[in-house]
Every structure is written in structure tokens, then in C-alpha cells.
Amino acid sequence: MSLAVGDVLDPVTQQSSLVTSVMYAAASGDYNPLHYDPEFAGQVSPTGGPIAHGMYSMGLTSRMLAAAAGGPEGVLELQVRFSKPWPLGATATFSGTVTAVEDGVATVEVGGELEDGTRILTGTARIRA
């Protein structure tokens, strides 16, 4: 595998759902009702309903990076900012573009976007090129 400046990584697209939210809660131990309880989320969520875990979106970003880097061991660093909530039921696409390559390490600008164009995640990663 060889990455070059300007390369676009294969994106990961996923619909959030109550099932994915409950599964992520079980895996992570984060049982905040904002992520699965419509009544509670309706009172506190900026979307008016449950939202996906931010770390779930980061995990999907990491999946994309690992595929490009030849496996999870090739992901050297990932820093993200969760810019907007991801409502349950919405589909998001996580993408990345190589912005630099030096000494076998690629810097990748990453992002997550809903179908309507709302950016839910931005960041930078370093992966083996």
C-alpha cells in the first residue's frame, strides 16, 4: 500500500439506530439515556431525540483509517472534534483525504457528514502510508 497527497480514502457510511446505540452503550459502558431513551432525550437533546455516541462516530472514522493503513496497527494517531450531534436514524459518511506524507506516515484530514451536509465530526489522523 502506498498513499500520496490528495488520495481520498474509501469512506465508511453507516445509519445510526437504536440498535447501534444500545450495542455501543453495552460495549463502552456509556449508558447515558441521551443515546437511547426518547422521552429523556426529548427533554435535553438539541435534536429533540436520541443521538448516537460521539465515540461511535470516532470508531467508524477509525475503521476507515484502519482499512487504508492495512489494519488497526497502522493507525498511529487520531484527533477529532464532535461538531454537531448525530440523530438516531440519520446516515453519516466518514471520509478522509491525505494532506501530507513524510517518512512513511500519511497525515489525513478526516470528517463525518450527514446526508444533508451537516458536519458532525472533523479532525486529523496519522497513519502508515
**How many domains does the structure of the chain reveal?**
1
Q: Which domain holds residue 68?
A: 12-128
Res. 1 pLDDT band, cuts 50 70 90: low
124 found inside a domain: yes
Would you state the cell numbers that stand for residue 25, as one nine-digit string? 452503550
Neighbours of 48 (CB within 10 A): 12
Quote the pLDDT of residue 78. Answer: 98
Neighbours of 21 (CB within 10 A): 22
1 found inside a domain: no
54 found inside a domain: yes
Look up the CATH number of the domain holding residue 104. Answer: 3.10.129.10
5 found inside a domain: no
Res. 108 pLDDT band, cuts 50 70 90: very high
Q: Residue 11: which of 61, 56, 80 has the closest Cα? A: 61
Would you state the cell numbers that stand for residue 117, as one nine-digit string? 451536509
Please, what is the average pLDDT of the chain? 96
